[in-house]
């Protein structure tokens, strides 16, 4: 991050308007290198200085990269209509940065959801041309059969798609669960593909994005974490 005055830095970090951040500083709520700072005229290098807000350490981030273990009955929208929005599960310092979900999960689908305020990152993750894989565990209404697995691997025709859609990999987990890996990111794709086989999806969880798996993060539903550089690398294609 470039040098920036403290009031602008706090605003960029999601602590409020410029005026609100100036009031925080004037009230002695901000420490830089252990010292209370009450002025903001000097430009700082935020990545080199330890900053505390209300006696709590704060890591300054140019962009935020967040992974949420999405629970059911939350909408992936900044303006939800029928259910609470996923942003309500994040602290205000994150949501104030114009953070938004990377793609969408249905309100009843659970699991891995990325959120960020980095437009380039969002486009790279969401664009079909980058072929970022998503792994899902689907619970089926009827028992899983070898024929169902074969159909998902060979491709099923959906009404509004010009060509059949198929899973990159598909394996049976138990009598009523399958794991599918996709890289197309079509609307309601897993549910529609299962319906096209004559079965039905009763529950759906996204368990991996790229090579980053939910189990590696040990996040309970409704909890979130910042992603570090090593984890961000795992989100990309394996090649």
pLDDT digits (tens, 9 = 90+) for 185-228: 788 899 999 999 999 999 999 999 999 999 999 899 999 999 99
Which H or E run contains 93? helix 92-95
CA-to-CA separations, 138 to 16, 31, 43, in angstroms, rounded? 41, 49, 52
pTM, to two decimals: 0.89
Nearest CA-CA partner of 164 in 172, 150, 154? 154
Residue 118 catalytic? no
Catalytic residue, from 27, 55, 106, 142: name it: 106
Cβ count near 10 (within 10 Å): 28
- Cα distance between residue 56 and residue 191, in whole Å: 44
Strands 134-140 and 212-213: unpaired
Whether the CB-CB separation of 132 and 183 falls below 8 Å is answered with: yes
pLDDT digits (tens, 9 = 90+) for 92-144: 999 998 899 998 899 999 999 999 999 999 999 988 788 899 999 999 999 99
Domains and CATH numbers, the chain: 4-58 (3.10.290.10), 65-128+212-235 (3.30.70.580), 133-209 (3.30.70.1560)
Whether the CB-CB separation of 170 and 149 falls below 8 Å is answered with: yes
- Cα distance between residue 157 and residue 187, in whole Å: 14
């Amino acid at each position: 991050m470039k040098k920036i005055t403290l009031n602008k830095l706090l605003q960029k970090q999601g602590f409020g308007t410029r005026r609100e951040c100036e009031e925080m500083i004037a009230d002695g709520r901000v420490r830089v290198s252990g010292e209370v700072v009450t002025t903001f005229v000097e430009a700082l290098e935020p990545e080199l200085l330890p900053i505390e807000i209300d006696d709590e350490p704060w890591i300054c981030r140019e962009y935020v990269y967040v992974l949420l273990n999405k629970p059911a009955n939350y909408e992936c929208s900044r303006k939800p209509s029928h259910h609470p929005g996923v942003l309500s599960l994040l602290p205000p310092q994150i949501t104030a940065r114009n953070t938004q979900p990377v793609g969408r999960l249905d309100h009843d689908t659970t699991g891995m959801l990325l959120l960020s305020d980095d437009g380039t990152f969002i486009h790279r993750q969401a664009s079909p041309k980058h072929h970022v894989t998503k792994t899902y565990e689907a619970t089926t209404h009827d028992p899983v059969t070898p024929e169902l697995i074969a159909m998902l691997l060979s491709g099923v025709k959906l009404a509004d798609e010009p060509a059949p859609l198929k899973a990159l990999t598909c394996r049976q987990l138990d009598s009523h669960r399958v794991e599918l890996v996709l890289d197309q990111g079509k609307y309601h794709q897993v549910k529609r593909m299962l319906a096209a086989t004559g079965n039905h999806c009763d529950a759906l969880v996204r368990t991996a994005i790229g090579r980053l798996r939910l189990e590696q993060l040990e996040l309970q539903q409704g909890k979130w974490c910042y992603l570090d550089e090593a984890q961000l690398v795992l989100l990309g294609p394996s090649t």
